[in-house]
Structure 1
């Protein structure tokens, strides 16, 4: 019996597999490890990529040419990536596959279509080039925890069973290539003129993302605000409207009618006509799909889609959670034993959980290739940053669904009537009777209302409120995510209807790729993300309107149709060739027609970022850099790369705000820089440093850091200033009346609790006031609590102090 060659998708997975198979005596070699029964090697992600257009013409990279499109290859070809490390590793894998003692090759790519295709390209390259006769198996991961890998390695399946995954990935990659190559060139070349050149990247999913945000912009532009009036009731002990009367809306030309109604109401008696109380069981939210996880953490922690996916992927690779790129919020029925094992592990710390077999959790009809995201039996000892936030969310949602206690809420509806007409007002509140799953995920808090009784008279007065109708709000990440996942959703659509469409492929893009494409739309300057919402740019408006004029916009209808074709390929209802044939003909006809249309070229008003420190000319922005306008004439080569290595190594890139500060002030403050070990983040000032003919970014020297006033010192009344590590009194320099007041920013307790203080918070604290901190995670993970943070000055040290309320109403203080 020969050896098995395992080809993992990446080095980290190769290491995990070796740890899982600890009973094998592994010996490390250059690019692989070997034991008595296995050889374990790895790719570095994609080793192959599709040909560029220039490759098909057997030439170096050249300028785009409208005469060369539409272009559809007769045969789609792949090439090895132009990277020395990639080429070296491919040779190692090829050499291992040719060994006579290897009789089986195992595809150990990620458990998805892309992971299957990625490793298959390498396997097929080795087999076809060397005419090998090897058995090929698939190691399909339920998750990447070591116990699961040991179990999965015993249940290898023929690689051919996963041909549908390979076919879907192949179809998706080729369709994206066809649309990207042809539409991007057509749009860019037709829109450019001799004077103005513009690059307008277009993609299958990209167009739909930008169009959704563009449509919201048009709704806002066409919106006309209208004045209207309503009538509100103000309780005697309040200043503002306490409650709005139902059906009390009056148009602008009905003001006299509104005033007449108001006079009637103020002459009448107001009383409680009905008090309804009902207790209902409340149930936990569904387990997480990637989309619902992103939506939740965007709302609670302002995490962007890409950050959530990145953290979830890392947790998956470490074996802490199941496969994250899932579009389902349900588990398959054959996962019940796996879930029981996870519950047993968590029961050591949580006695109030038990296995529950319900359709709310297990439903085969709502699971395609991947299930909801849940924790595994491997519990992390310590996590930090985004990984901690993401893991806690997944864990708490899982525990919520398997909580043994019921959650009961009492809902109260109070109806307020009057003696003059039928207008009523309703006040609603609720009270948690039994906590149940809320100990794990506190998604509901008591909403207090006074203890009204039927017949009670209400003391108050009626008022008229003048209002204006509001335009549609900007697009939020949650809105965009939900649109991409269910572009054809209807109002009041049931869960069953939603999943039926999802399983038919009626979505735009995949849950695995949407986050990166949204980021691409930002990088291409089509859209902007600020304050948690997306808005369109001038370039984005031109992109959409031009693509529509030319018939080159991949809108919802086209995307949904392609999604259906891809799902049909996956389900073996149509062949890969049939799918591609439809798209190839569509793209060919669209581009040919677009070439006959004349449009106005794009005139981009370049925003001036600052002055060039070398020649004094204006600094402008491109998709990749901030550059001197002298670059066009080669009279100056100054530029600041957005993905500057110094910044990227610390988890950041050079934003427009940072670039402006560097150019105009010579220094910029950057927050959230990551430490080398990734354990935490820090803030620092950076500057531009001349290095020969180039400028590099580096940390600013201490004496270059600007001083900011943070009020008066609580001890001596002099000024409080800020540096990178603390807030300090200017009196520290006074040798006669020295003041050593120092408030350190770094605090272990606050960091562990994920508490991040703003400058406004620090200013409030130094002024002797309290800051309310909400939703602090409890140590046992069972819910959250609120606390007031303040400072206590011992005369020697300035300490943080937390005041919070214990169960039973007892106040407590913790010095941190």
Structure 2
């Protein structure tokens, strides 16, 4: 008998539906006509034991116990799902062959691997476990996945990476939360001060941004724009503008960004160049192509949906789970990949057909797929974008629409308004892969007026290509001068051509503070964390794919900071609270800056890629924790006095009831 172990009941039912009929449904599992059996976890069936299981003395929080580092890690069955674990225990013993059908990410890999290990499966049987990777719950895709099983041994690095992350989070959270809660109590704080390996650096990002905004002092700067005109002898008179480029002699008047901060200097330039002859000194006119944006991974989708619809990261994740599990309209959503396997290209015609059928002529289709139906007519299945790249795909691929068809009316009646909007965003980016590149001329002209140099820039569209699906979200009336400059049309000039400078224009501007975080910008900061890392050497180590947390966990981390009272929302804007700020001020920089955590995330990725080991992450972490615990005893966070609430911070994660004694332990 083959036993499929799915991560969730919905996935288990999808697998059973493609097995030989008739099906016999039992309590916690389904049996096919050929004897194949499908059962499932209900999310995590197991959890890390509490510290007091390792030593009863740890039940009382005390500095003397820290850091708590288990010699032999233990898991315990969750009480709420112990019945399902018992079902799996019985079936695993009966099965001749185990098939791992966890979700196609590192958490899904570890979740089922831990159950197999916990149930004491023999080494021989464990080595023979097969892996079923399902990212689309429609019957055709599931049947194909069931027919293409792989050895679960291939995914050991993925599981090891998830195991290291889970244990690192436990060590960091348990020890530093206890250490700083104890110090907070000394200062008069009422509650638990939760420290997390990822959540605390994220909180630090928001707190420092808020502080930078509050301390910001705006400074004026001055731009000079030459208004230029071609001469009549060169044909029809045409006008354009060019921006003054301060010379080296102006350096004392420039700020750190190279902007002119002297109004008298700008006024002097205007006097010298107005109504004067000008000459084209350099000219570049490059024909450029811009490829379509890739299909979404979860973080990219959350950022886009937050910008477009004001949705929080958690709302987008919840919507995607519904589109995947309930409606079966999209592929696996908790993906960190924006590429597709090459063999998926053969299914593109059917996916595009489903998108076209589902879109119909609804208002949502009009607003998200352009102002007319020409976008659909331009789709060419023969176009193969850079998205199809096997080297970029591991356990899962980008989030794309499935082949499931619903007409526009049924789609609108079946989905909520938000579900439909998110679905169409996913469709839009997929369709863009079959449209031509956006083509334009990138034009730059260097103009000499007297002793001054002026630069004119323009982007002149040639072929709209995939941009027909991406209508501009910013009205031209709101565009700044930079936008106006790029949108202008520069005449067909030639080097040494004479021009006439009309009355020049002086623009007085003021430096702007950084913007408060939103869900979109905070997610972008978490995914592109190297921009916020201060260590220059670490910046070189970090890759574009490294960040704080994973695509699957970032939404939960942000929401956790709100639940714990460290952040608050006002519309789309995210602010730190008084408690959040005081807490960050009390913590050492190493805990609130992303450098150390980003390095650990990079090492977790290296473990996943088979380039590093479990010990290479855990040993330095343990050493660092010992030092941080010792340092915490010298900190008394007086800024937290009188804050906090016991009711708000119930010790849910450190539950008061002692868990049942574990029947199994794990050691690496």
Normalization by structure 1: what TM-score?
0.63
- The alpha-carbon distance between structure 1 residues 75 and 484, as it changes in their structure 2 partners (threshold 3 A), is same
Find the aligned partners of 1:536 and 1:315 in 2 and give their Cα distance.
Answer: 32
1:507 corresponds to 2:547: yes
Alignment of 1:369-768 (within 5 A): 369-381=395-407, 382=411, 383-403=415-435, 405=436, 407-409=438-440, 422=452, 424=454, 426=456, 428=458, 430-431=460-461, 433-442=462-471, 449=488, 461-488=503-530, 501-502=542-543, 506-548=546-588, 553=591, 555-577=593-615, 579-595=617-633, 597-604=634-641, 623=648
Q: Which moved more, 1:215-224 or 1:583-592?
A: 215-224
Alignment of 1:208-219 (within 5 A): 208-219=201-212
Deviations 1:130-158 (A, max 9, x none): 99999633222143221111112122233
1:110 alignment partner, one of 103, 107, 111: 103
Using the TM superposition, give the Cα deviation of residue 363 of structure 1 relative to its aligned residue in structure 2, in angstroms.
Answer: 3.0
Query: Could you say which structure has the higher strand fraction?
Result: 1
Using the TM superposition, give the Cα deviation of residue 30 of structure 1 relative to its aligned residue in structure 2, in angstroms.
Answer: 2.5
1:638 aligned partner: none
Contact (CA 8 Å) 1:103, 1:135: kept in 2 or not?
A: no
Over alpha carbons, which structure has the higher Rg? 1
Using the TM superposition, give the Cα deviation of residue 341 of structure 1 relative to its aligned residue in structure 2, in angstroms.
Answer: 5.1
- The alpha-carbon distance between structure 1 residues 604 and 428, as it changes in their structure 2 partners (threshold 3 A), is farther
Contact (CA 8 Å) 1:230, 1:244: kept in 2 or not?
A: no
- The alpha-carbon distance between structure 1 residues 339 and 498, as it changes in their structure 2 partners (threshold 3 A), is farther
Using the TM superposition, give the Cα deviation of residue 115 of structure 1 relative to its aligned residue in structure 2, in angstroms.
Answer: 1.2
Find the aligned partners of 1:225 and 1:441 in 2 and give their Cα distance.
Answer: 34
Find the aligned partners of 1:406 and 1:185 in 2 and give their Cα distance.
Answer: 55
2:28 aligned partner: 31
1:319 alignment partner, one of 328, 332, 356: 328
Find the aligned partners of 1:133 and 1:558 in 2 and give their Cα distance.
Answer: 35
Runs of 4+ in 1 over 6 A off after TM superposition: 129-134, 248-253, 270-278, 411-418, 444-448, 450-460, 497-500
SS at match of 1:20: coil
- The alpha-carbon distance between structure 1 residues 282 and 113, as it changes in their structure 2 partners (threshold 3 A), is closer
Find the aligned partners of 2:273 and 2:122 in 1 and give their Cα distance.
Answer: 89
SS at match of 2:334: coil
- The alpha-carbon distance between structure 1 residues 449 and 261, as it changes in their structure 2 partners (threshold 3 A), is closer
Instruction: State the superposition RMSD in angstroms.
Output: 4.1
Using the TM superposition, give the Cα deviation of residue 24 of structure 1 relative to its aligned residue in structure 2, in angstroms.
Answer: 1.7
Find the aligned partners of 2:90 and 2:267 in 1 and give their Cα distance.
Answer: 89
2:316 alignment partner, one of 305, 308, 318: 308
RCO comparison, higher one (Cα < 8 Å, 6+)? 2
SS at match of 1:121: helix
- The alpha-carbon distance between structure 1 residues 301 and 270, as it changes in their structure 2 partners (threshold 3 A), is farther
- The alpha-carbon distance between structure 1 residues 399 and 159, as it changes in their structure 2 partners (threshold 3 A), is same
Alignment of 1:182-193 (within 5 A): 182-193=175-186
1:177 aligned partner: 170
- The alpha-carbon distance between structure 1 residues 58 and 467, as it changes in their structure 2 partners (threshold 3 A), is same
Deviations 1:726-767 (A, max 9, x none): xxxxxxxxxxxxxxxxxxxxxxxxxxxxxxxxxxxxxxxxxx
Find the aligned partners of 2:604 and 2:443 in 1 and give their Cα distance.
Answer: 50
Using the TM superposition, give the Cα deviation of residue 225 of structure 1 relative to its aligned residue in structure 2, in angstroms.
Answer: 3.0
Find the aligned partners of 1:582 and 1:487 in 2 and give their Cα distance.
Answer: 21
Residue segments in structure 2 that go unaligned for 5+ positions in a row: 229-239, 255-259, 361-375, 477-483, 651-668
- The alpha-carbon distance between structure 1 residues 576 and 456, as it changes in their structure 2 partners (threshold 3 A), is closer
Contact (CA 8 Å) 2:106, 2:158: kept in 1 or not?
A: yes
1:124 alignment partner, one of 99, 117, 129: 117
Residue segments in structure 1 that go unaligned for 5+ positions in a row: 236-241, 492-496, 608-619, 626-816
Q: Which moved more, 1:438-447 or 1:507-516?
A: 438-447
Find the aligned partners of 2:437 and 2:609 in 1 and give their Cα distance.
Answer: 40
Using the TM superposition, give the Cα deviation of residue 294 of structure 1 relative to its aligned residue in structure 2, in angstroms.
Answer: 2.0
Find the aligned partners of 1:217 and 1:306 in 2 and give their Cα distance.
Answer: 23
Contact (CA 8 Å) 1:20, 1:146: kept in 2 or not?
A: yes
- The alpha-carbon distance between structure 1 residues 562 and 465, as it changes in their structure 2 partners (threshold 3 A), is closer
Alignment of 1:202-241 (within 5 A): 202-232=195-225
- The alpha-carbon distance between structure 1 residues 253 and 271, as it changes in their structure 2 partners (threshold 3 A), is closer
1:769 aligned partner: none
1:200 alignment partner, one of 180, 184, 193: 193
Contact (CA 8 Å) 1:606, 1:621: kept in 2 or not?
A: no
2:367 aligned partner: none
Normalization by structure 2: what TM-score?
0.75
Using the TM superposition, give the Cα deviation of residue 424 of structure 1 relative to its aligned residue in structure 2, in angstroms.
Answer: 4.0
Using the TM superposition, give the Cα deviation of residue 513 of structure 1 relative to its aligned residue in structure 2, in angstroms.
Answer: 0.7
2:13 aligned partner: 15
Contact (CA 8 Å) 1:272, 1:452: kept in 2 or not?
A: no
Using the TM superposition, give the Cα deviation of residue 73 of structure 1 relative to its aligned residue in structure 2, in angstroms.
Answer: 1.3
Using the TM superposition, give the Cα deviation of residue 400 of structure 1 relative to its aligned residue in structure 2, in angstroms.
Answer: 1.0
- The alpha-carbon distance between structure 1 residues 18 and 253, as it changes in their structure 2 partners (threshold 3 A), is closer
1:5 aligned partner: 3
Contact (CA 8 Å) 1:126, 1:132: kept in 2 or not?
A: no
Using the TM superposition, give the Cα deviation of residue 548 of structure 1 relative to its aligned residue in structure 2, in angstroms.
Answer: 0.8
Paired positions, count: 586
Query: Could you say which structure has the higher helix fraction?
Result: 2
2:129 aligned partner: 136
Find the aligned partners of 1:577 and 1:427 in 2 and give their Cα distance.
Answer: 53
Deviations 1:519-541 (A, max 9, x none): 11222222333343433332222
Using the TM superposition, give the Cα deviation of residue 193 of structure 1 relative to its aligned residue in structure 2, in angstroms.
Answer: 2.0
Using the TM superposition, give the Cα deviation of residue 606 of structure 1 relative to its aligned residue in structure 2, in angstroms.
Answer: 5.6
